[in-house]
Structure 1
Amino acid sequence: MMRNIALMQSRVTALGATLRPHVKTSKCIEVGRLQRDAGARGITVSTLKEADAFFAAGFDDITYAVGIAPQKLDRVLALRRAGCRLTVLVDSLAGAQAVVDKGRTDQHAFDVLIEVDTDGHRSGVGPDDDLLIDIGEILRQGGATLAGVLTHAGSSYGLSTPAALQAMAEQERAGCVRAATRLRAAGLPCPVVSVGSTPTALSAQSLDGVTEVRAGVYVFFDLVMANVGVCAPQDIALSVLTTVIGHQPDKGWAITDAGWMAMSRDRGTQAQQRDYGYGAVCDAAGTLLDDLVVSGANQEHGIVARRDGTADPDIVRRFPVGTRLRILPNHACATATQFDAYHVRDADGTTQVWHRFHGW
């Protein structure tokens, strides 16, 4: 984990931008502190629960990178009046108007970013769309301050070559910078130009015009990221410790006590070049057993089997009942959220317990 944190921080710093890590992956104060200590400035959250918890722990510069629902503005206002520099996100006239109306009613100016769609993946306004300027015009009517633009190249998760990733990183950068340039040309402020996903952050060759980068899953990495090509399975810092509880010798299966309730139902590698089932299998020390995957899962049972589908005649001897294994996750965010805490192992073998939180 510490290597992963240092890798991302050094790369973003070298490209001249600020790193604002996304804490939705860890949802853990101790992890956030390590990222801050490494040089991160501010954090990104996906829920107001994260904003509440991190602000209470001393993090006061927070971007809520999900389009703001009007019903949540009271919570946002309470955090801001308590001293949290919480920035919200809009990508529609209705959303912008709701923020402005709330700000006027409560005599407060919310900091607002406009979400820009640079890859057709999810939310946002096209960088060349007239709607971008229209939203900016609403935000300068009072009750809000236009803080800048934000984009997320989520389609990078579907790529797998350095050339494609570099091209997507440049598309993300150029589109967001173009949106900022258009706002400024219209006489609207745009101090923040925020981009980011783990694949593009680790692939960008230039961040000219960008002020900050947001990325989250890099802190642990996962099998989807390994298939994308921005890490190796050995770089994955998160694993689920499980125990062999039985066998199906004829089928070549070892049965464990970690099913989809432990690993999550996320099968993100299924559509990639290497399908890891419900997770990759390591021994208790973390050494990858590359011939095995968790091929199937019930609620509390996992099936460890050969990746190629053939039965392992030696499965009982290899993994007697009581054997501990570590399972690497397809999607670190989804697997981590199944648990209340991390058991954190240092290089010298000592273990600490770091709690994480849930909810919205």
Structure 2
Amino acid sequence: MSFAETQLKNLQTPALVLDEAKMMRNIQRLAKQVDGLGVSLRPHLKTVKSTEISRRLLTDGSGPATVSTLIEAEVFAEAGVKDIIYAVGITPQKLDRVAAIRSKGCDLAVVLDSVAQAHAVADASARLGLAIPALIELDCDGHRSGVVPGDPVLLEIGRVLHDGASELRGVLTHAGESYEIQGRHGHEIFTEQERDAAVQSANALQDAGMPCPVVSVGSTPTAHSARKLDGVTEVRAGVYAFFDLVQAGIGVCDLDDIALSVLTTVLGHQHQKGWIIVDSGWMALSQDRGTANQRIDQGYGVVCDEAGQMIPDLIVIKANQEHGIIARRPGSEGKLPALPLGTRLRILPNHACAMAAQFTEYNVIPADHEADLCVWPRFGGW
């Protein structure tokens, strides 16, 4: 146990704990993978929401980066990130705020998938006297938003942006359905769907005489399984810095790669029911049940001891607002371990983004085993 891990005993619970060594191993793994494919990596900062972590994720701490809220764009731009894509469909009411961020020296681009949005961006660009760059979002797998490749509206949107006062920056897609597929082979199929949708659409724009300098793809599963990315310029991914039980369940990482956990304390027992009660409910763990439809349902999180070692077949089976109920996994055999009042435990997240969102700071176990436990601020909001 490192010196910092011994200091966990002094924390009030629930507390968010981050293992820096595991995080850095995860960051370096994907950086090496993407570099080997000859494209750039544009990490998504929505998971971490921390300037301390962004400096470790981004090249020279300055980008490129992806965000999902404008407050992320504002905070990271203030911290020196100069190249950001706001990867949620833009609305007209947000464009003045986008322009304000750009006016401070950050190249912030927006994403859209309709002619109406394109007109809004072009009109705002003309009104404000600056060219707001936009990427056209593509639907590569029916997961969510985006223009279906081959739909003539792609060129119509591109023409509005290119001929107006705005800037057509490129195309962007996200294989969100890859989260529903287990195993590298399945993820490779989605990787090729992403690539094909993006490259086909980029070629269509260019054949019509319009620019497409950015061809952006990415999800954590497809980024890790990509073998070739011909025609792509960049890859986006976010949860890989921490990983979680969903990613482990679909084979992208191992349980030992998960860098994030919630420190909790045993507050009571229901012996006749086989329950251990802890002081971390859904306000700490979140209500995410992302593993419910996977081969192994991890409940509301996998239970580890205070040092982060998994306790076999022990999960959080139920989460009330401030109470978590721990029990043996359904179908498992053996006795409930003796975990008396005051015992400290750590809970691994189903969804790292959702768990982290419950807290305002990370309690960081440094990679240097001789260093003190440290605190890195985390922000929220929109």
TM over 0.5: yes
Is the CA contact 1:20–1:213 (under 8 Å) kept in the aligned structure 2? yes
Q: CA deviation at 1:119?
A: 0.6
Where does 1:1-360 land on structure 2 (aligned, <5 Å)? 1-37=23-59, 41-308=63-330, 313-315=335-337, 318-347=338-367, 348=369, 350-360=372-382
Q: Call closer, same or farther: CA 1:39–1:103 in 2, change over 3 Å.
A: closer
- CA distance in 1: counterparts of 2:239 and 2:175, whole angstroms: 14
Is the CA contact 1:20–1:40 (under 8 Å) kept in the aligned structure 2? no
- CA distance in 1: counterparts of 2:346 and 2:26, whole angstroms: 19
- CA distance in 2: counterparts of 1:244 and 1:231, whole angstroms: 29
Deviations 1:68-91 (A, max 9, x none): 110000000111111110000110
TM-score w.r.t. the length of structure 2 is 0.91
| Higher RCO (Cα < 8 Å, 6 or more apart) | 2
Secondary structure of 1:119's counterpart equals: coil
Question: Residue type matched to 1:152 in 2?
Answer: H
- CA distance in 2: counterparts of 1:152 and 1:39, whole angstroms: 24
Q: CA deviation at 1:314?
A: 4.3
Is the CA contact 1:9–1:38 (under 8 Å) kept in the aligned structure 2? no
TM-score w.r.t. the length of structure 1 is 0.97
Which deviates more, 348-357 or 51-60? 348-357
Q: CA deviation at 1:129?
A: 0.8
User: How many residues end up aligned between the 2 structures?
Assistant: 358
Is the CA contact 1:261–1:338 (under 8 Å) kept in the aligned structure 2? yes
Which ranges of structure 2 fall in alignment gaps of 5 or more residues? Answer: 1-22
Is the CA contact 1:151–1:196 (under 8 Å) kept in the aligned structure 2? yes
Question: Residue type matched to 1:184 in 2?
Answer: Q
Q: CA deviation at 1:311?
A: 8.3
Question: Residue type matched to 2:376 in 1?
Answer: W
Which ranges of structure 1 fall in alignment gaps of 5 or more residues? Answer: none
- CA distance in 2: counterparts of 1:172 and 1:119, whole angstroms: 8
**% identity of equivalent residues:** 58
Is the CA contact 1:244–1:324 (under 8 Å) kept in the aligned structure 2? yes
Deviations 1:97-124 (A, max 9, x none): 0000111112211111000111110000
Matched with 2:4 is: none
Is the CA contact 1:19–1:40 (under 8 Å) kept in the aligned structure 2? no
Q: CA deviation at 1:291?
A: 1.1
Is the CA contact 2:65–2:83 (under 8 Å) kept in the aligned structure 1? yes
Deviations 1:249-285 (A, max 9, x none): 1111111000111000010100111111100011111
CA RMSD of aligned residues (A): 1.4
Secondary structure of 2:202's counterpart equals: helix
- CA distance in 1: counterparts of 2:307 and 2:75, whole angstroms: 33
Q: Call closer, same or farther: CA 1:39–1:26 in 2, change over 3 Å.
A: closer
Which deviates more, 103-112 or 146-155? 103-112
Which deviates more, 268-277 or 33-42? 33-42
Q: CA deviation at 1:290?
A: 2.6
Deviations 1:131-165 (A, max 9, x none): 10010011112221101000000000000022111
- CA distance in 1: counterparts of 2:161 and 2:37, whole angstroms: 31
Q: Call closer, same or farther: CA 1:141–1:160 in 2, change over 3 Å.
A: same
Which deviates more, 186-195 or 245-254? 245-254
Q: Call closer, same or farther: CA 1:314–1:142 in 2, change over 3 Å.
A: closer
- CA distance in 2: counterparts of 1:163 and 1:110, whole angstroms: 39
Secondary structure of 1:305's counterpart equals: strand
- CA distance in 1: counterparts of 2:187 and 2:107, whole angstroms: 33
Q: CA deviation at 1:41?
A: 3.9
Is the CA contact 1:282–1:288 (under 8 Å) kept in the aligned structure 2? yes
- CA distance in 2: counterparts of 1:216 and 1:40, whole angstroms: 16
